[in-house]
Amino acid sequence: MTTTKRVDPAELAKLPCTGPSFDDLRGKLDPIVARYPQRAAALLPVLWVVQRARAGWLHPKSIREVAEYLAVPQAHVEGVITFYTMFKDQPVGRDVVVVCKTLSCRLRGAQEVMDALEDHFGIDMGGTTKDGRYTIETGECLGLCDMAPCMTIDEERHGNLTPESAVKTLEGRPR
Amino acid sequence: MSDERIRTVRVTLDGQTIEAAASATVLDVALANGVFIPHLCHHPDLRPAGACRLCFVDVDGRMVTACNAPVVEGATIRTNTDAVKTTVRGAVELLLVNHHRGAVDCEEGDACELRKIARFIGIDEVRLARFRRPEPAPPVDTSNPFFEYDPGICVLCGICVRTCDEVVGVSAIDFVRRGVHTTIGSAPGAKWMDSDCVSCGECVVRCPTGSLSMRDSEVPEREVRTTCTYCGCGCGIHLGVTGGRIVSARGVRENPSNEGRLCVKGRFGYGFVNAPDRLKKPLIRRDGVLVEASWDEALDLVAAKFTEHRGDAFAAIASAKLTNEENYVLQKFVRAVQGTNNVDHCARLCHSPTVAGLVQSLGSGAMTGTTKDLGDSRCILAIGTNTTAAHPIVALQVVRAVHQGGKLIVINPREVDLARHADLVLRNRAGSDVALLMGMMRVIVDEGLHDPAYIAARCDGFDEFRESLARFDAATVEELTGVPFAQVAAAARMYATNGPASILYAMGITQHTHGTDNVLAVSNLALLTGNVGRTSGGVNPLRGQSNVQGACDMGALPNVFPGYQRVDRPEVREKFERAWGARLDDMPGLTHLEILGGVTGGRIRAIYLVGENPALSEADANHARHAMEEVDFLVVQDIFLTESAEYADVVLPAATFAEKDGTFTNTERRVQRVRRAIDPVGDSRTDLWITSEIARRMGAAGFDHASAADVMDEIASLTPIYGGVTHERIEGSGIQWPCPDSSHAGTRTLHTERFPTASGRARFFALAYRAPDEEPDAEFPLVLTTERSLYHYHTSTMTRRVPGLEQLRGEELVEMHPRDAAALRVSSGDQVRVTSRRGEVVARALVTEVSPPGTISMTFHFHEAPTNVLTNAAFDPVAKIPETKVCAVRVEAVR
């Protein structure tokens, strides 16, 4: 089984930083910053906007630009990004799939769902499909225990999964 | 705050009744009373964090962390209840099982606080073994040349993170990742070296476990307390010595100038002392080649030649790296033996406008305040100073002021590091400072924010000055400075309404053809708001070299004897003639540029060049090189064969600061001891010995001092501002001049009651804007301004012999704005040729928005790219300082 390797962190800066320039993002970011008494307080929502606009992950250049934009130390931004799982410091697929691995889902067959996805796409959990479409990873409780087992595709929720329906859902989405 | 320090409370600590300051924490009180409470994240320099969870105590039945619990009147504190013991044991055990190394068998030994704590509590490590983390320890980060980070033994106390933020103000590092994977890091995948780290090592010396540790560290056989030889901050250091080698340095916590803190050069920069290529023998030029000679041969030759060249054909260039005693003896030699006032030193190239300007306006050309007091300023205006690079320890006080809520205004064409802490950043055109400051003062006067009572009571010349403000209306100021007037006005209001306010300035103010005007503008601004004479306020020129203040104080200047006593005053001259037993010249001598310039016309025939390197440091350096080649007889006295020494007829090997006794006077006027840590390397000798020996061989009397202390006694007897200074009195924390007699404690803040002028009053000066001598034009469209790197010092004679510093910054970089780079089709790393009317230099480009559009910058640290062949030697008419900060250049890519 193939595994998409993590990019050596030292090599990340050599990858292209795709998406709009930071100046083009300011129109979206300035109103967010204006909501807070201090610039630094806007860090999480600003990172989220930048990540979504730029291929779903935070390139070292993005981190530097956000740090400068909010006048916070770069190391602090790095600390925040690496603390929260929804911020990515590695390239990801076009959509990020999170399969819940917490208790309720496990009791209702989450492991089988994961196995099926790994088999079908030929990747390990945490990997990215060869066509670059999906990064599929596991996550802690998604708060959808009433429809366990569940997963999210970016911000879409999908529940009451079976191994077959999970694969079908991913394959059936418009390309 | 002060009330809380004075007020005391009574508490019971493990059954003992104790009186303690109300501001203290439970941990402070316990440690002060000999009760050990385990703790890892506490450090007296840092705010309490309560992060390590080891310092639990029982206060009135509640469990609290002692490091951030204030003592409360009547509280009962118990450190040894069963509940406390169980809790702390659990916390220590958790730390140990998360540790990748056993504490008992750890090579860090007793340097490790965790090991001490484990033993104090009595932890059974064997029992813990099966709980340990199974995975191998993460790799050690060895990217920094001076220290390394081993995450395997890090306890995540955060002392390093907080030190970098609270003490240094850099915030290069933080906690990264989550849960058991948490570690200390900076940017994605970044090694320590790739972060904003400035390699000062302040985190390393505070690390409780040795997770951050010095590389190639050696425990010294003994330590000698002395003063750092680099910049004017004048930090106290303990130099570690093993055999005849300097192996370590650490800060002196009791030293009031640095309180134990050091920068990268001060902590790691002493490898040059034992560098293999130190000059160890005198050299004499024979058949065009410098060959080794004996001291007798060399000194006899020098004495004979100097005898031939007595009078105004002789000149000496003294050094801001020499001690006070050596500079004193050198200028005495020039005046009393050679019969000329032709003695000057590099202060001419850095702060002569300060001496010329502030003496006129305030009566004294030195920092009015004290380094430590800067941290208590309510507003700091930093103009023309890249403080974090050139005066790193003074910069720590700026950071402290900001952390205490003080305002910071940074005025600089370049976006210097300090800008990140600033409330306001004004990026004016290089050379437009008079216009900018006068614009600010006009706002202050127009809005009535000045201090009329202070001005009436203590200053002259206000009306004329006020009239001169009329020339600086909003439109003019905006046009001249390139700064929107709203920003100028905001800076004016911020400065005028937050007192006490301190102004810091350095070469960005002085190195101009109108440097003296710049200095006067600065003093006008401080006087206008009544800030001169106030503690934590005033005018603070940051002096560059370890003893540049002292070299000026000692009269290594062509117009004054020691203590700024003018050579053209008959009563002064008679005093020195009596003391020195010689006829003295009443005509001021030649300045630095005039000495080298005087060679061409045959006016100067012999130069005694001590501890200076004009081949790299002088503006229009090719001209300086030519002069050194031309002059009949050139003696160079230095610790290395510098670029200038290669032109010498005789080279005399001198001892470094680590090999001599004496004193340095730092930027805050503090006279401090320099102590001999090792014997002079090879056959080198102290400058004091060499100069005295030349004088003796010329038959002069008055050059047989038994020691440096003896010289200081002579200085004190002739120099009123040093009247009460003796080596014995300054043993502890030094003395800040003026110190007129042996009962005087020295002066922390100048001008508190009167100004040392004839009238006792300060003076305002009416000013007009003058453009730089050379402005960009079609042929040379860009402005070149010179700057400094934190990692090197001056012409790098010392710092480039420290491999780690060379690794941190190994070459000249031409910094330019992306817009200019794009126009030239240049990217970072490309070779560019920089050409001025005087010469050309090739170096690599660094594209950065730190440089403003239209202005490039270079240091002058690198002999491979000698920036000063480009700079303009046009000088200030009063101070005779060359305009190193502005010249016109052209840049082209080398393809």
For the stretch B735-791, pLDDT in tens is 999 999 999 999 999 999 999 999 999 999 999 999 999 999 999 999 999 999 999
Q: What is the model's pLDDT at position A170?
A: 95
* Residues of chain A neighbouring B170 (CB-CB closer than 8 A): 73
pLDDT: which is higher, B194 or A32: A32
**Alpha carbon distance A101, A111 (integer Å):** 8
- Specify the range with the lowest mean pLDDT, choosing from A3-12, B49-58, B261-270, B459-468: A3-12
Structure token pair of residue B475: 């439109």
* Residues of chain A neighbouring B420 (CB-CB closer than 8 A): 71
The one-character DSSP state at B773 is S
pLDDT, tens digit (0-9, with 9 covering 90-100), for A103-156: 999 999 999 999 999 999 999 999 999 999 999 999 999 999 999 999 999 989
Structure token pair of residue B397: 């006080």
Residues A107 and A165 in one domain: yes
End residue of a domain, out of B674, B703, B732: B703
Q: Which of B623, B874, B890, B615 is nearest to B776 (CA)?
A: B890
* Residues of chain A neighbouring B173 (CB-CB closer than 8 A): 75
Compute the nearest-CA separation of A155 from chain B (Å): 23
pLDDT mean over B202-207: 96
Residues B530 and B579 in one domain: no
Q: What is the model's pLDDT at position B361?
A: 95
Q: What stretches of chain A adopt beta strand conformation (E)?
A: 95-100, 134-139, 151-153, 156-158
pLDDT, tens digit (0-9, with 9 covering 90-100), for B62-101: 999 999 999 999 999 999 999 999 999 999 999 988 887 7
Q: Is B177 close to A82, i.e. CB distance below 8 A?
A: yes
Please, what is the average pLDDT of chain B? Answer: 93
Q: Is residue A3 part of a domain?
A: no
ipTM of the complex: 0.88
Exposure b/e, B357-384, CB count within 10 A at least 16 = b: bbbbbbbbbbbbbbbbbbbbbbbbbbbb
Residues A43 and A64 in one domain: yes
pLDDT band of B456, cuts 50, 70, 90 = very high
From the list B187, B189, B191, the residue facing A74 with the nearest CB is B187
Residues B558 and B640 in one domain: yes
Q: What is the model's pLDDT at position A1?
A: 41
Interface A-B, measured as beta-carbon pairs within 8 A, has a size of 60
Q: What is the model's pLDDT at position B217?
A: 80
Residues A65 and A102 in one domain: no
CATH number reported for the structural domain that contains residue B458 in this entry = 3.40.228.10
pLDDT above 60: residue B453: yes
Compute the nearest-CA separation of A64 from chain B (Å): 9
pLDDT: which is higher, B570 or B616: B570
Q: Is residue B774 part of a domain?
A: no
pLDDT mean over B168-196: 87
* Residues of chain A neighbouring B190 (CB-CB closer than 8 A): 9, 78
Structure token pair of residue B875: 């000088």
The one-character DSSP state at B865 is S
Q: Is the peptide bond before B500 cis (omega within 30 degrees of 0)?
A: yes
Compute the nearest-CA separation of A156 from chain B (Å): 26
Residues A47 and A115 in one domain: no
Compute the nearest-CA separation of A164 from chain B (Å): 34
From the list B189, B191, B196, the residue facing A74 with the nearest CB is B196
The residue of B177, B194, B848 whose CB has the most chain A CBs within 10 angstroms, and thus the best one to mutate to test that interface, is B177
CATH number reported for the structural domain that contains residue B661 in this entry = 3.40.50.740
CA B396 to chain centre: 11
What type of residue is B27?
Answer: L
**Alpha carbon distance B636, B60 (integer Å):** 73
Q: Is residue A89 part of a domain?
A: no
Q: What is the model's pLDDT at position B3?
A: 63
**Alpha carbon distance B891, B895 (integer Å):** 13
Q: Is residue B750 part of a domain?
A: no
Q: Is residue A4 part of a domain?
A: no
End residue of a domain, out of A51, A83, A115: A83
Q: Tell me the residues of A at the B interface, defined by beta carbons under 8 Å apart.
A: 8-13, 60, 63-64, 71, 73-76, 78-79, 81-83, 89
Q: Which of B263, B502, B261, B264 is nearest to B375 (CA)?
A: B502
**Alpha carbon distance A150, B765 (integer Å):** 78
Q: Which of B705, B782, B808, B773 is nearest to B199 (CA)?
A: B808
pLDDT mean over B648-672: 97
Q: Is residue A114 part of a domain?
A: yes
Q: Which of B411, B360, B395, B321 is nearest to B659 (CA)?
A: B321
Contacts with A139 (C-beta within 8 Å, 6 or more apart), sequence order: A85, A98, A99, A100, A101, A152
How many domains are there within chain A? 2
* Residues of chain B neighbouring A8 (CB-CB closer than 8 A): 189
pLDDT, tens digit (0-9, with 9 covering 90-100), for A59-91: 999 999 999 999 999 999 999 999 999 999 999
Structure token pair of residue B677: 């840590």
Residues B810 and B884 in one domain: yes
pLDDT mean over B346-372: 92
* Residues of chain B neighbouring A71 (CB-CB closer than 8 A): 420
Q: Which residue has the tokens 């004017």?
A: B232
Residues B586 and B663 in one domain: yes
Residues B411 and B530 in one domain: yes
pLDDT, tens digit (0-9, with 9 covering 90-100), for B421-433: 999 999 999 999 9
**Alpha carbon distance B720, B741 (integer Å):** 8
Other C-beta atoms within 10 Å of B768: how many?
12
Per 3-state DSSP, chain A is made up of helix, strand and coil in percentages (nearest 5) of 50, 10, 40
For A75, nearest residue in chain B (alpha carbons) = B186
Going by their DSSP bridges, the two strands B606-610 and B565-566 should be labelled as unpaired
pLDDT band of B125, cuts 50, 70, 90 = confident
Residues A20 and A79 in one domain: yes
Classify B734 in phi/psi space as left (phi over 0), alpha (psi -120 to 50) or beta.
Answer: left
- Specify the range with the lowest mean pLDDT, choosing from A8-12, B160-164, B662-666, B675-679: A8-12
pLDDT above 90: residue B292: yes
CATH number reported for the structural domain that contains residue A137 in this entry = 3.40.30.10
pLDDT mean over B296-308: 97
End residue of a domain, out of B514, B541, B568: B541
Q: Is residue B355 part of a domain?
A: no
Cβ-contact B284, B293 below 8 angstroms: yes
For A9, nearest residue in chain B (alpha carbons) = B189
Q: What is the model's pLDDT at position B188?
A: 67
pLDDT mean over B712-718: 97
pLDDT band of A4, cuts 50, 70, 90 = low
Asked if the C-beta of B455 comes within 8 angstroms of chain A's C-beta atoms, the answer is no
pLDDT: which is higher, A7 or B442: B442
Q: Is B185 close to A10, i.e. CB distance below 8 A?
A: no
pLDDT mean over B15-37: 93
**Alpha carbon distance B289, B285 (integer Å):** 5
Residues A100 and A166 in one domain: yes
Residues A100 and A167 in one domain: yes
* Residues of chain B neighbouring A61 (CB-CB closer than 8 A): none
Query: B403 is in which domain, residue-wise?
Result: 367-541
pTM of this structure? 0.91
pLDDT, tens digit (0-9, with 9 covering 90-100), for A144-167: 999 999 999 998 999 999 999 999
Q: Is residue A130 part of a domain?
A: yes
Q: What is the model's pLDDT at position A2?
A: 45
Residues B531 and B556 in one domain: no
H or E element in which residue B383 lies: strand B379-383
Residues A75 and A99 in one domain: no
* Residues of chain B neighbouring A78 (CB-CB closer than 8 A): 174, 176, 185-188, 190
Q: Is residue B177 part of a domain?
A: yes
Residues B458 and B559 in one domain: no
Q: Is residue B262 part of a domain?
A: no
pLDDT mean over B443-464: 96
Would you list the DSSP string of B106-171?
-TTGGG-HHHHHHHHHT--HHHHGGGS--SPPPPPB--SSSEEE-GGG-----HHHHIIIIISS--
* Packing angle of the helix pair A110-121, A163-172 (nearest 10 deg): 50
End residue of a domain, out of A83, A112, A144: A83
Asked if the C-beta of B176 comes within 8 angstroms of chain A's C-beta atoms, the answer is yes
- Percentage of chain B exceeding pLDDT 90: 86
Query: Is the Cα dihedral B716, B717, B721, B724 positive or negative?
Result: positive
What type of residue is B19?
Answer: E
**Alpha carbon distance B202, B833 (integer Å):** 38
CATH number reported for the structural domain that contains residue B70 in this entry = 3.10.20.740
pLDDT band of B31, cuts 50, 70, 90 = very high
End residue of a domain, out of B703, B738, B764: B703
Residues A68 and A19 in one domain: yes
From the list A63, A73, A76, the residue facing B188 with the nearest CB is A63
How many domains are there within chain B? 5
Q: Is residue A67 part of a domain?
A: yes
Compute the nearest-CA separation of B161 from chain A (Å): 10
Q: Is residue B15 part of a domain?
A: yes
Q: What is the model's pLDDT at position B820?
A: 96
The one-character DSSP state at B738 is P
Cβ-contact B114, B40 below 8 angstroms: yes
Q: What is the model's pLDDT at position B115?
A: 87
pLDDT mean over B576-580: 96
Residues B661 and B515 in one domain: no
Q: What is the model's pLDDT at position B4?
A: 64
**Alpha carbon distance B669, B721 (integer Å):** 10
Q: Is B174 close to A75, i.e. CB distance below 8 A?
A: yes
Query: Is the Cα dihedral B49, B53, B54, B56 positive or negative?
Result: positive
Exposure b/e, B82-118, CB count within 10 A at least 16 = b: eebeebbbebbbebbeebebebeebebeeebbbbbbb
pLDDT band of A5, cuts 50, 70, 90 = low
Dihedral angle computed from the Cα positions of residues B39, B213, B261 and B234, in that order, rounded to the nearest 10 degrees: 160
* Triad A78, A79, A80: Cα angle to 5°: 90
Residues B375 and B503 in one domain: yes
Q: What is the model's pLDDT at position B105?
A: 65
Residues B47 and B166 in one domain: no
Q: Is residue B243 part of a domain?
A: no
Q: Is A79 close to B175, i.e. CB distance below 8 A?
A: yes
Residues B677 and B799 in one domain: no
Question: How far, in Å, are B226, B550, B682, B688 from residue B677 at the CA level?
Answer: 8, 21, 15, 16
CATH number reported for the structural domain that contains residue A62 in this entry = 1.10.10.1590
End residue of a domain, out of A22, A51, A83: A83
pLDDT, tens digit (0-9, with 9 covering 90-100), for B830-869: 999 999 999 999 999 999 999 999 999 999 999 899 999 9
From the list B170, B188, B420, the residue facing A78 with the nearest CB is B188
Residues A99 and A166 in one domain: yes
| A41: phi then psi, degrees, rounded to nearest 5 | -65, -20
For A79, nearest residue in chain B (alpha carbons) = B176
Residues A34 and A67 in one domain: yes
Contacts with B817 (C-beta within 8 Å, 6 or more apart), sequence order: B847, B848, B849, B851, B852, B853, B854, B855
pLDDT, tens digit (0-9, with 9 covering 90-100), for B535-572: 999 999 999 999 999 999 999 999 999 999 999 999 99
- Specify the range with the lowest mean pLDDT, choosing from A79-93, B106-120, B577-591, B665-679: B106-120
Q: Is residue B848 part of a domain?
A: yes
pLDDT above 50: residue B1: no
Residues B558 and B574 in one domain: yes
Query: A35 is in which domain, residue-wise?
Result: 9-83
